[in-house]
Structure 1
């Protein structure tokens, strides 16, 4: 018994010493040629720490000074740098395109093979789940009037699905130049981007995606090959035909696909003819008759990883644009997979969360209203930035916090 107690004490103090040696490091990731910021690059130390860069290419990570950071971005050469040797800026060199005569695979059969493999991976790993950090901001013209952060859980294999709210916080203000106050209740569903389908022809109520058997009828396409750290990667561009884009909710995109496995590594593109749900208050309450369905187009950037042995979503960025009551509305969201970050998953807070059963959120779920019912723990949010906030997000968060708007839903 004494021996067991001694071992426990050694392990306990060892963990305390390891935690005490953790230091916060930050830097900006840029293109080595253009010096432009690289958003959503992966910053990975190991199971103990990982993150992604924000929209401005910035990241912050807590780790030991001698920890090696693996910083990667699809289409660029990865770099390894010791945390203590970070100089404030990390440069990544773009990968070179391979010569066309090195490409021998016909494009149409290749796309069919990628479609088949993607559907297989989706089916085999549909029960793989993870936890995600989610941040959302909304702007009316140039004024940010909504700030939302949440932790979600759901399926992560190849594409997100069945997202559920674990906990979150929300704050919003009425823009000075506006005569309305509204919020977007279902924007989080835009992160559930799927690019493969088993149908032969899309139906009017189905999204048109590039990876399906009859893609040649609805898309124009081309491809090239790049050398990604010694691995060949297919880069395939899909352009929806004008007639298709006007008839269906359509995904047009560029796929980055590993040549050996045919697994998706990154998806960048745009959605056409989609809808976002916005609601307005009336007499202090939200009713379905105050709900509006607004047509929107959106940009997205999805990165995938195989750190856990299967292709799963690592990060998703979405930006939608539309008009509402004479104002230009821009809504942005960033989602990050926490499955590789053991420090986050081991907190007592998350252990309590897993004991709670949350209902599945639907397309029109009022995520802000669900957040409000759970209450607001300011101490928790002070210590869980997860993904570095941009300068604008930091200013907005501080403003809303100073006005005590978090935990208040109206």
Structure 2
């Protein structure tokens, strides 16, 4: 009898804890400009975290007394109790240090060389370490065609992602009934959106010039990039260096440019924000007949990514991409974007992994997981994404795979 009473009390206590939980929603913004900060980290525990979406919004289930740690690279972190959250969280940016304050001029190329050497050693030690990720891909253009891919997968996560194993997910699409209109279907945008500023295993990017070359050559930066830098300092006196990789006068036909941030003292990657120029994306065009036509087209892809270091190596924390196609003679304009998030120990339930680099084919072979809707809000949907998801669910579009 006493044992049964203890069990009942234990269950009631757990039920009380669950009931006390609420969903907290807010927008993370720059304290100076008010601009939203996408891909900011919102952390409660290793099994309970999220990131802000493209509009800077997040939602997370927590107890009122839980403390949320909200971070964004080059901004001062903020710890705030869930019950005190409010509708906005403003983060203050680091202060830019005047170069006159630096006693010894910084050898940027020498510092990058040290960073590359450190990352190569790290890759040799941790290359087989894996982590779990959530992925969302949306396609929207000015026909009535829209596409959604959402999935959980496991992959090797040091420096750049590789060797994907799909666990579970869903696919949905809506197409125009007019078969004469061309449209896009990205068969390799999934792997394209997993790009990184250093590629130990380049794969489809073997001809891409990146800010951190895995194979160092003496005149790499002289030939490919214009380099500039700034040093930022936080309230806790931590310093990061921001290196801008701009194109040289002659330019490059297939390169990644942008801003790389890393810890100067620990040589840790923190973030990259920039663009991949002329990436070849495989596109399917609908024709007037029953068949379709494929071709590879060069496209520019915007990218924003962050790293984490809690397991002793530089591990991909999040990647966000965006590709805009302007309307032309033979093209419909559109926007295509993806979000990828390291979910740590988040429990996605039982699932049988399928090793497949092409997530579209992997999902079509596996079929949609009806239980997926319980998990997809691990990253808050934007208003556009939510509208598309609701439309797909209402019209039964999930599980219809086009060839």
Partner of 1:304: 307
Q: Work out which of the residue numbers 209, 215, 218 in structure 1 matches 2:224.
A: 218
What is the Cα deviation at residue 121 of structure 1?
2.4
Matched, 1:250 2:250: no
1:403 aligns with 2:399: no
Q: What's the CA shift for 1:10?
A: 7.0
The reply on whether 1:359 has 2:332 as its aligned counterpart is no
Q: Which runs of 5+ in 2 are unaligned?
A: none
Q: Does 1:267 align with 2:272?
A: yes
Q: What SS does structure 2 have at the residue aligned with 1:273?
A: strand
Name the structure 2 match of 1:65.
Answer: 64
- Distance between the aligned counterparts of 1:358 and 1:232, measured in 2? 42
Whole-Å separation in 1 of the counterparts to 2:199 and 2:308: 21
- 2:25 is matched with 26
Q: Structure 2 CA distance, aligned partners of 1:37 and 1:114?
A: 30
TM superposition score normalised by structure 1: 0.86
Normalised TM-score (structure 2):
0.87
CA 1:79–1:387 in structure 2 vs 1: closer, same or farther (change >3 Å)? same
Structure 2 Cα separation of the partners of residues 290 and 359 of structure 1? 27
Counterpart residue number, 2:233: 227
Displacement of 1:406 in angstroms is 0.5
Distance 1:304 1:142 in 2: 37
Secondary structure of residue in 2 paired with 1:397 = helix
1:181-196 counterparts in 2 under 5 A?
A: 181-196=183-198
8 Å CA contact 1:369–1:409 kept in 2: the answer is: no
User: Does the CA-based 8 Å contact 1:141-1:329 persist in structure 2?
Assistant: yes
Determine the structure 2 residue equivalent to 1:137: 138
Does structure 1 conserve the Cα–Cα contact (< 8 Å) formed by 2:160 and 2:199?
Answer: no
Q: Is the 8 A contact 2:160 2:198 kept in 1?
A: no
User: Aligned with 1:402: secondary structure?
Assistant: helix
Equivalent residue, structure 2, for 1:378:
370
**Are the counterparts in 2 of residues 238 and 253 from structure 1 also a CA contact under 8 Å?**
yes
The alpha carbon displacement at 1:27 in A equals 0.4
1:276 counterpart residue number: 281
1:314 alignment counterpart: 317
**More deviation, 122-131/384-393:** 122-131
Q: Deviations over 1:242-291 (max 9, x none)?
A: 54512xx21112111101211110011111121111224679987xx732
Q: Is the 8 A contact 2:27 2:87 kept in 1?
A: yes
- Most deviating of 257-266 and 183-192: 183-192
SS class of match (1:189): helix
Tell me which residue corresponds to 2:332. Answer: 327
Q: Secondary structure of 1:388's match?
A: coil
**Per the alignment, do residues 153 and 242 of structure 1 end up closer, same or farther by CA in structure 2, a change over 3 Å counting?**
farther
Where do residues 40-51 of structure 1 align in structure 2 (5 Å cutoff)? 40-51=39-50
CA distance in 1, matches of 2:289, 2:63: 50
Q: CA deviation at 1:170?
A: 1.3
The Cα of 1:30 is off from its aligned counterpart by: 0.9
Q: How many angstroms apart in 1 are the aligned matches of 2:28 and 2:364?
A: 36
Q: How big is each residue's C-alpha offset from its partner over 1:159-215, in whole Å with a ceiling of 9 and x where there is no partner?
A: 21222322221111125898234421211112332323679xxxx952111223332
Does the C-alpha gap of structure 1 residues 189 and 198 become closer, same or farther in structure 2, counting only changes over 3 Å?
A: closer
Counterpart CA distance in 1 for 2:13 and 2:156 is: 35
* CA pair 225-389 structure 1, distance change in 2 beyond 3 A: same
Consecutive unaligned residues of structure 1, counting only runs of 5 or more, are none
Which moved further from structure 2: 156-165 or 31-40?
156-165
Separation of aligned partners in 2, 1:222 and 1:389: 36
- Within 1, Cα distance between the matches of 2:121 and 2:324? 34
